[in-house]
Structure 1
Amino acid sequence: MMLKNKVAVIYGAGGGIGGAVARAFALEGATVFLTGRRRASVEAVAEEIVSAGGSAQATEVDALDEQAVDQHLRFVIEKEGHLDISFNAVGIPNEEIVGVPIAELDVAQFSLAMTTYVNSYFLTARLAARRMMANKSGVIMTISALHSRLGLPLVGGYGPAQAAKEALTRDLSAELAPHGIRVVGLRPQGMPETRTIKDAYGPRAKASGLTWEQWQELLASRTHPRRLMTLTEMANVAAFMASDKASGMTGTIVNLTMGSLDD
């Protein structure tokens, strides 16, 4: 197992992406600590992992609350003695931040994406790094989207937020690599199982009249295999990138857009 004896904390573990990553990490032998703002959804993932023979514990943690994140990490270190992986999958419902033309967008709605995605990543990464420095090892990870590199309409502050996360990933790596810490990101195009892509469909359905099936077909047509990535595929890559087998990878974003976005 690639992650045997590793300790991982997943932020946003109650969502589709965070939950899939947590399951993949546990399947590869990691002890996973799952956090999220809604305890019930996080506990459901933890129970599933434990039922399958894995090791998981759920805690309600707001990733934008520095004190709460710090307190939880203290608990993890006291319990396990070390922290090996920090994965930020924090998100917010897309209907709160997309669907409004930029010319009509107010600064609060634009800033919501920036403050939620970027600040939570900064806080969780910084606090994790402080623990990892002691052992001179660790992996800090997050997830972005092709919006970071591709101009798209009606996405408000979502695209700039994803670009900022990718820039922060590179900057964190530049500072933390000398301390033995790798920092990497994943950039999938869209996964039909996630709420993100379903929320993104709404504004475009109104503008184009596309059905849900037609919307998926349009996105898939831009990829080389003419299909969209699954959560399982994304999570399997996350597990590999978190493992020692990917020790040569840091300061980079793994392109999981299946060819729809050139490097």
Structure 2
Amino acid sequence: MNVRLDGKRAVVTGGNSGIGEAISVCLAEAGALVAINYVAHPEAAHALVQRIQEQGGIAMAIQADVSDPEAIAKMFESIQAAWGGVDILVNNAGIDGGRALAWETDIAAWRKVIEVNLTGAFCCAREALRRMVPQNSGVILTISSVHEEIAWSGYSAYTASKAAVSMLTKTLAQEAAPHGVRVLAVAPGAIKTPINRAVWSDAGSLQDLLDKIPLKRIGAPEEVARMVVVLASDIASYVTGRTIFVDGGMTDYPDFAHGG
């Protein structure tokens, strides 16, 4: 079975690093045109565009803060002008914020996580749907987290935003289905990226993490990216309104393998 996205116009928010970078590359390898959104580190975004182009793909870099609805609207207008529309949106941009117990939390910092992870995902989806609904086709995928199900002390804004993304996905899927648009979420578990280097580069922290994963290894960004490509393709044409977990079994609560 050959998974292809030839000619599909894709947008990946936060697409210049980590999981977003892997998604951008895999989409391009499958034949999609990829707009790589970034808010910082333009050099990384432009280097990624060059890498994709050298491999025969089509890509462009576009700056926008997803927590700013006006910036999002301008980004989609630019993509519309360049490519005539959007077929795939990957809402990947997200932050976890600093660790703080609820009674110690700075409300501005809490709101920022919600603005990026939830409001930003909604505003990007809104702009995408304004283009997908009239064409009666399209796929929206939001990168969630195992923490839409698993509590994480000190990160109430992050967990709340990811749980909200789950219900947002279901609601948008319900609204968009009559118009031929599918809406899904992909929830990674522990994935080896630069942002969590402090965990996987320390032997003690790594072992603690591996104890939480039935497959006993950290995932690679490409493993998430490949799932995104499959779900964005016609292979998944009858799948919508669900979160797909890519977590090595973390949400299977491995501690319970040894008794309740």
Q: TM-score, normalised by structure 2?
A: 0.90
Name the SS of the counterpart of 2:250 in structure 1.
Answer: coil
Instruction: Note closer, same or farther for the CA distance 1:194–1:180 as it changes in structure 2 (3 Å cut).
Output: farther
Counterparts of residues 10-159 of structure 1 (less than 5 Å): 10-38=12-40, 39-92=42-95, 94=96, 97-159=97-159
Q: Distance in 2 between matches of 1:193 and 1:62?
A: 21
Deviation digits for residues 31-59 of structure 1 (CA, Å, limit 9, x no counterpart): 11111112222112111111222111111
Q: TM-score, normalised by structure 1?
A: 0.89
Percent identity, aligned pairs only? 29
Name the SS of the counterpart of 1:261 in structure 2.
Answer: helix
The two structures, once aligned, show a CA RMSD in angstroms of 1.8
> How many equivalent residue pairs?
250
Q: Distance in 2 between matches of 1:43 and 1:29?
A: 19
Counterparts of residues 110-259 of structure 1 (less than 5 Å): 110-195=110-195, 197-198=196-197, 201=199, 212-259=202-249
Q: Distance in 1 between matches of 2:137 and 2:90?
A: 15
Q: Distance in 1 between matches of 2:227 and 2:43?
A: 27
Q: Distance in 2 between matches of 1:248 and 1:59?
A: 31
Which deviates more from structure 2 when the two are superposed, residues 242-251 or residues 214-223? 214-223
Name the SS of the counterpart of 1:173 in structure 2.
Answer: helix
Match of 1:4 in 2: 6
Which deviates more from structure 2 when the two are superposed, residues 144-153 or residues 177-186? 144-153
Q: Distance in 2 between matches of 1:30 and 1:217?
A: 38
Instruction: Note closer, same or farther for the CA distance 1:101–1:64 as it changes in structure 2 (3 Å cut).
Output: closer
Is this contact kept in 2: 1:12–1:89, CA < 8 A? yes
Is this contact kept in 2: 1:140–1:183, CA < 8 A? yes
Segments of structure 2 that go 5 or more residues without pairing to the other structure are 254-260
Segments of structure 1 that go 5 or more residues without pairing to the other structure are 202-209
TM-superposed deviation, 1:211: 7.0
Deviation digits for residues 174-214 of structure 1 (CA, Å, limit 9, x no counterpart): 1111111100111111212241x347x4xxxxxxxx97222
| Runs of 4+ with deviation above 3 angstroms | none
